[in-house]
Amino acid sequence: MTLDRRRFLYGLFFCCVTLMFWGMLPIALKLSTGFIDPVTFTWLRFTFAGVVMVIWQAKRSKLSEFRNLSATNFIRLMVAGTMLIVNYTFMVWGLSYLHPGAAQLSFQLAPLFLTLGGWWFLKERVFWQHWACFALMATGMLLFFHPAIESSTGLTGIGFLIIQVSALGWTAYALLQKSLFRVLSPSNILLSIYLYALVVMLPFSHPASLLELDTQDRWVTLFCCVNTLVAYGSFAQAMRYWQTVQVSACIAMAPVVTFILTELCVSLTLFNGVIFSADADRLSLLGMALVIIAAITVQLISPVLEKRRIKALHTLSVVTDR
């Protein structure tokens, strides 16, 4: 087996693991809404991930990076942590109103927010092709949610807005994380945020309620905690073997995985009373396809457009020098 083929297969494996775990997560989070409040559940997920990562980073002698952390970067870490808390908590809250697949699809607006944030705060270039993709994404969202719009279902609209707050929180976290890469590794950034959330969220959490969970609830809780580590760990490994564009395009398929797994649960009569079929008509399925196509296209064209821009600037500078 050649090295390139091995890298491709490793990247495919880790990308599929990430896709599967992120596809299953909204279903598990939906189940959690019936037995625990979002704040306590998010606190537990952060605590579990923080403890595991402290042990992992200490074993690898990676904690020395924090010695040179300035006050400004420390504040950025706290703000990033707050934004990730918003992301996690509001995602669970939004699932009280939305089908798991609908919530996952609604979160696909996050790339739009991230691009706008990069354009506004980091002065990154946004091309007309990006705006075309975002317009296609908005059209897809309208088509997907057209049954709720036509019937004026307020709960669906509330759920959608809550998910968008979650997406904005993730966007702010991602932008702040990017500014911290020069002083901390991605693993230590996440470790800092997990420990920060552990302390900040504790006064608003109810850990004692965890003792009242039955066996099924405990398994769901454990899965969500492990999911955080496995999904992000597999994502990091996939980035080692594949280009960012390839991984991002693959991850954009997460809503499809969530929809398929949700319908599978319904067909097998699993979790009756909590997990229901989406009952999506052809127009809604077309909308879902448009959103996913737009999300994938954004990931694929961005590096190509950036290379063209750099090449054009280089050509212009050569001509000017002459």
pLDDT score of 184: 86
CB atoms within 10 A of CB 320: 7
| Burial grade of 21 (CB within 10 A; 0-12, 13-18, 19 or more) | buried
Directed axis angle between helix 128-144 and helix 110-121, to 10°?
Answer: 150
CA distances from 59 to 46, 190, 248, 255 (A): 20, 16, 30, 36
pLDDT at 82: 94
pLDDT tens digits for 130-186?
788 888 888 888 888 777 666 655 667 888 899 999 999 988 888 888 788 788 888
Residue among 161, 221, 303 nearest 40 (CA): 221
Q: Please tell me the predicted confidence (pLDDT) of residue 255.
A: 84
Q: How far is CA 259 from the centre of its chain?
A: 16
pLDDT tens for each residue of 75-94? 999 999 999 999 989 999 99
pLDDT for the residue 196: 93
Residue 317: per-residue pLDDT: 66
pLDDT at 150: 60
pLDDT value of position 149: 60
Residues of the chain with pLDDT under 50: none
